[in-house]
Structure 1
Amino acid sequence: MARRRPWDISDDLWAVIEPLLPRHKRRYRYPGRKRIDDRRTLQGVLFVLYTGIQWEFLPQELGFGSGPTCWRRLAEWQQAGVWDDLQQVLLDRLRAADRLDFSRAAIDASHVQAKRGRSRPKVGRSPVDRGRPGSKHHVLVDANGTLLRVSLTGAHRHDITQLLPLVDAVPHVRGRRGRPRHRPRVLYADRGYDFDIYRRRLRERNITPKIARRGHGHGSGLGRIRWVAESAIAHLHGPRRLRIRWETRDDMHDAFLQLTACMNLARRAF
């Protein structure tokens, strides 16, 4: 059996994605050129994401449409909030299948170089890369390493700035009887998140903080639990387009980031 290519979309996954996409009615008079199929266009976007190829070099013989068409469609879907809606649906499916574990969560961040758009708000001088411009990918995962939320900031932003935004952005996950879940019971983090004020903010949200203390030696044992966040980042950076930021616009790089999170959730849900 041939292995499925990462940019191929299964029928089951497309049945979930299609209702979330914006609808476009074709004009009766002067209809213009027929709109390229959304499914093929999304496959073109995924081809660019996984291979890292430039938009203008997207092979026409694959039938995905032109690179500019795929770029515009990705920008349209990002503005319409399609990826947030898709993450909600996929998380609901995972909880219905009992594949989400809110007993604990872990948070972490990773730096990526930015080759363009140095003056953008979400690009900054990286303190871990000799001041070169870069961005950060922040992730929040459950006990199984399932992505609950991801976000994008400049490399100069401290990791702690995304702690509460990520926690508060977790959607109310349904899929089972009872109250929807959106708060983990315990949150694990490394020394970069060692601020007592944020520990208090987490407790106000009924979350028990388990954060390593600065100045203490290694061997606390938190790494045996936090590794799921590092593993999630490694999978998040599997597509070549996310290993180095080439997008000038913040929203387009964030679109790739959110789309990758959706595809990682889809692999667990289907």
Structure 2
Amino acid sequence: MVDLVGRLLPDELWVLFRRVVPPTEVKRPQGGGRRRAGDREALAAIIFVATSGCTWRQLPPVFGPCWQTVYRRFAQWSQARVWGRLHRVLLDELGARGELDWSRCAIDSVSLRAAKGALTGPNPTDRGKLGSKIHLITGRNGLPLSLGISGANVHDSQGLQPLVRGIPPICSRRGPRRRRPARLHAGKGYDYDHLRRWLRSRGIRHRIARKSVKSSERLGRHRWVVERTVSWLAGCRRLHRRYERTAEYFLSFVGIAAVLICHRRLTQ
């Protein structure tokens, strides 16, 4: 079990996680009771659920805590925004090492089928089936900088401004923190003049493909990195289909996938 926990949750990621997890009361005020299950074993079990795609009830008992305890810990950490804070800490570590490339960022989205819940809608690309959409902005090397979710019927263009605003101030190797890309590449779904004016007002150069003007053959010249990141997100099988009714919990799994991508780059 120790080897499995260490493989799913390396020591470096565990140290960073302890910086963002809120403190918990270990002793019961009334005394007695069982010893509280370890946070590291619970976090490793959560990562196992995210990567394997199994349900909470199918969680193997080798981790130690029962599935009810793991789910309860996942809900507590999701409500405390732990995954987003951990993602930001990893971005700061990468930025301090000079691993983030702001020269050519890209934006895209991916739709997936959903069972039910908030932030879902009829997917126009899936015969109107209920679904959700993941929006993301990545750097030139494919690291996710900003993430968001919406219903599958929400147009891609509506996610550009919230994603750009959602990029946190990230440490740089030299100079102050940075949160604006030098150039943003986008597909034809973002071909709107008000988006171009908004990006220019923020000092961001843009390269947005124009409908019926530019051919689709060369759209992937600089945008393939965000499509590769989408495939990396698919490595977390829990994101193949949305089962969470609560949008906050689904966003937590998206955040966990982004954390694993950034940590992989940090340990290379």
Q: Tell me what 1:108 maps to.
A: 108
Letter in 2 for 1:249: T
Q: Number of matched residues?
A: 264
Q: Tell me what 1:191 maps to.
A: 188
Q: Deviations over 1:131-175 (max 9, x none)?
A: 000000111001111110111111011111110111111111114
Q: Tell me what 2:11 maps to.
A: 11
Contact 1:7/1:47 (8 A) holds in 2: no
Q: Tell me what 2:168 maps to.
A: 171
Partners of 1:22 and 1:198 in 2: how far apart?
Answer: 38
Partners of 1:188 and 1:195 in 2: how far apart?
Answer: 13
Q: Tell me what 1:84 maps to.
A: 84
Letter in 1 for 2:163: L
5+ residue gaps, structure 1: none
Partners of 2:239 and 2:6 in 1: how far apart?
Answer: 15
> Alpha carbons of 1:152 and 1:228: their partners in 2 closer, same or farther (altered >3 Å)?
same
Equivalent residue runs for 1:61-76 within 5 Å = 62-76=62-76
Does 2:44 match 1:43?
A: yes
Q: Tell me what 1:161 maps to.
A: 158
The structural deviation recorded for 1:255 is 0.8
Could you say what secondary structure the match of 1:247 adopts? coil
The structural deviation recorded for 1:5 is 8.4
The structural deviation recorded for 1:29 is 2.9
Sequence identity of aligned pairs in percent? Answer: 38
Letter in 1 for 2:75: A
Partners of 2:108 and 2:173 in 1: how far apart?
Answer: 28
Contact 2:5/2:41 (8 A) holds in 1: no
Letter in 1 for 2:144: L
The structural deviation recorded for 1:27 is 2.7
Contact 1:75/1:255 (8 A) holds in 2: no
Give 1:208's match in structure 2, choosing from 185, 205, 209: 205
The structural deviation recorded for 1:218 is 1.4
The structural deviation recorded for 1:34 is 2.1
Give 1:261's match in structure 2, choosing from 244, 255, 258: 258
> Alpha carbons of 1:6 and 1:12: their partners in 2 closer, same or farther (altered >3 Å)?
closer
Contact 2:118/2:246 (8 A) holds in 1: no
The structural deviation recorded for 1:215 is 1.1
The alignment yields a C-alpha RMSD, in angstroms, of 1.8
Partners of 1:98 and 1:63 in 2: how far apart?
Answer: 36
Q: Tell me what 1:53 maps to.
A: 54
Q: Tell me what 2:35 maps to.
A: 34
Q: Tell me what 2:147 maps to.
A: 150
Could you say what secondary structure the match of 2:106 adopts? strand
Q: Tell me what 1:181 maps to.
A: 178
> Alpha carbons of 1:261 and 1:171: their partners in 2 closer, same or farther (altered >3 Å)?
same
Contact 2:118/2:245 (8 A) holds in 1: no
Partners of 2:265 and 2:33 in 1: how far apart?
Answer: 40
TM-score by length of 2: 0.93
The structural deviation recorded for 1:28 is 4.2
Partners of 1:227 and 1:179 in 2: how far apart?
Answer: 29
Partners of 2:119 and 2:32 in 1: how far apart?
Answer: 39
The structural deviation recorded for 1:21 is 0.8
Q: Tell me what 2:135 maps to.
A: 138
Partners of 1:86 and 1:130 in 2: how far apart?
Answer: 37
TM-score by length of 1: 0.93
The structural deviation recorded for 1:220 is 6.7
Partners of 1:226 and 1:77 in 2: how far apart?
Answer: 33
5+ residue gaps, structure 2: none
> Alpha carbons of 1:210 and 1:59: their partners in 2 closer, same or farther (altered >3 Å)?
same
